[in-house]
């Protein structure tokens, strides 16, 4: 595989857990600069994945960075696990459980019915622990300082929200959604609809537009290829 990073490349990476999207971009950039003996090159990603999430991350270099907005605007498909009966401030495993609920009265039918109510155009409030800017600061910075964060609702589109397996308290799902959707917020709202609590236990991005994680490479393999190791 031959790369032309200056002309531009679109690299599909299967992001590992505990890497930030910026970590991936930084790693690719440093590898490219070292290999090409350059001082500067444009590298960016098309759609942030939370550190605890895995899956497809599109990284663009050189002139291909001009296409980032195009990829960011594409629909995305995720699979994951929502755990009901417990609330966490970050809506995922980043923070500790702040409140628990009895789930003994929730049925399988309740779960399937709840999922259907989120399909179509809906309004969603981003998580407090997110990169959304509030008065020049990232929301997560304010949230970690225990400051009150008021985020505006945004309109999103959930093309489908399929429940694939139920193993109480864990709800396995697959969802196809529009740009700007926060699956953590979807998990939180799912719990609220059930008059209960919920948070996101696992998340993996399967696709962005026509790009699939099945065609993606690990970051270590990408770095090998950049260095010319076949």
The catalytic site residues sit at 50
Q: How far apart are CA 15 and CA 56, in angstroms?
A: 6
Q: Report cis status (omega within 30 of 0) of the bond before 121.
A: no
Render 84-125 in DSSP notation, one character per residue.
ESEE-TTSSTTS---EE---TT--HHHHHHHHHHTSEEEEEP
Q: Is 210 helix (H, G, I), strand (E, B) or coil?
A: coil
Distances (CA, A) of 12 to 29, 73, 81: 14, 16, 24
Residue 115: CB partners within 8 Å, gap ≥ 6?
161, 162, 163, 173, 190
Distances (CA, A) of 11 to 14, 17, 104, 118, 132: 10, 18, 46, 32, 25
Q: Half-sphere exposure of residue 41, counting CA atoms within 13 Å on the CB side?
A: 27
Q: Half-sphere exposure of residue 192, counting CA atoms within 13 Å on the CB side?
A: 12
Q: Is 36 helix (H, G, I), strand (E, B) or coil?
A: helix
């Amino acid at each position: 595989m031959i790369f032309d990073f200056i002309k531009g490349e679109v690299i599909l990476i299967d992001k590992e857990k505990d890497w930030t999207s910026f970590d991936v971009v930084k790693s690719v950039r440093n590898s490219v600069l070292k290999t090409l003996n350059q001082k500067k090159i444009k590298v960016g990603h098309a759609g942030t994945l939370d550190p605890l999430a895995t899956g497809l991350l599109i990284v663009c270099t050189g002139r291909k960075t001009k296409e980032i907005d195009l990829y960011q605007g594409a629909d995305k498909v995720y699979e994951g696990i929502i755990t009901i009966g417990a609330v966490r401030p970050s809506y995922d495993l980043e923070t500790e459980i702040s409140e628990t609920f009895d789930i003994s009265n929730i049925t399988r039918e309740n779960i399937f019915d709840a999922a259907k109510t989120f399909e179509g155009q809906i309004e969603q409030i981003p998580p407090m622990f997110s990169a959304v800017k509030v008065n020049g600061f990232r929301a997560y910075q304010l949230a970690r300082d225990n400051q009150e964060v008021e985020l505006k609702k945004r309109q999103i589109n959930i093309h489908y929200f399929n429940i694939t397996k139920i193993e109480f308290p864990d709800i396995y799902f697959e969802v196809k959604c529009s740009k700007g959707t926060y699956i953590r917020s979807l998990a939180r709202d799912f719990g609220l609809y059930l008059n209960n609590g919920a948070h996101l236990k696992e998340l993996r991005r399967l696709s962005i537009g026509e790009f699939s994680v099945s065609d993606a490479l690990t970051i270590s393999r990408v770095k090998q290829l950049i260095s010319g190791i076949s």
